[in-house]
Structure 1
Amino acid sequence: MLIQHLPPESATRTALRLAVPLEDRYVQDAVERDPEAGSWSQDQMLLAQIIDVLRAQHYSFLKANGAKGIEPPPQVPRPGVAPAVPRRPAALSADNADLLFQLINGPPAESG
């Protein structure tokens, strides 16, 4: 019970975390899907966030200066966090297309 309340960076929690084989840790973290219970400390999560921001800024810099054919960088995978699944935009239905047309061009003119 006391071990659960130790900080993730403590020597005891680190020793317990490293006692589990790496492959099992990722499987366990993927099942739990709770970053707080993951095998990374808060410092490691913040470092991963910094890496993601730097990658995004570098990508933006390259795109702003005319780079072509480059993809946005992937995020650093984190234990306990499901990977982002790219979503496709929903198809525009006929009703939504008419509404969008009216919003852009105004309501249809009345004849008479």
Structure 2
Amino acid sequence: MLIEHLPPESHTMTALRNNLSQAELDAQADKGEPEKGRWSQLEQLMAANIDAIRRLEYVLICINTEKKSQRPDPPEPMRRPGAGPRKKTATLTTTSANRLFELLQGGAA
């Protein structure tokens, strides 16, 4: 029980991995689900850095692209353990925007 909860970078877990045959390593790689693994605070901070760099790159591309149709989709955040993929958010249509503007200006009364 104690060995199962050691961090992956511990000497014991490293020794166990080093003793696996190539077939065992391949089998583990095929069925691996890293998003279900435990992450340390350092790994969480690294994922936050990767997300920030991806957003900065996206903004840089958007600023230097003249046509909106040529802009890439916004980057997906890096998957975190225990978190599923993000749901797509609804876009605001012109009709919805006008209705929202009316409501904000007191049009609901």
Q: Which band: TM-score by shorter chain? A: 0.5 to 0.7
Show the counterpart of 1:77.
79
**How far is the alpha carbon of 1:78 from its aligned partner?**
4.1
Aligned residue for 1:25, secondary structure, equals coil
**In the alignment, does 2:105 pair up with 1:104?**
yes
**How far is the alpha carbon of 1:71 from its aligned partner?**
1.4
Q: What is the aligned length?
A: 94
Q: Deviations over 1:18-38 (max 9, x none)?
A: 866123221xx56xx5xxxx0
1:88 corresponds, among 69, 87, 90, to 90
Aligned residue for 1:50, secondary structure, equals helix
Question: Sequence identity of aligned pairs in percent?
Answer: 37
Which amino acid is 1:12 matched to? T
Q: Give the gaps of 5 or more residues in structure 2.
A: 94-98
Q: Give the gaps of 5 or more residues in structure 1.
A: 92-96
Which amino acid is 1:60 matched to? V
Larger Rg: 1
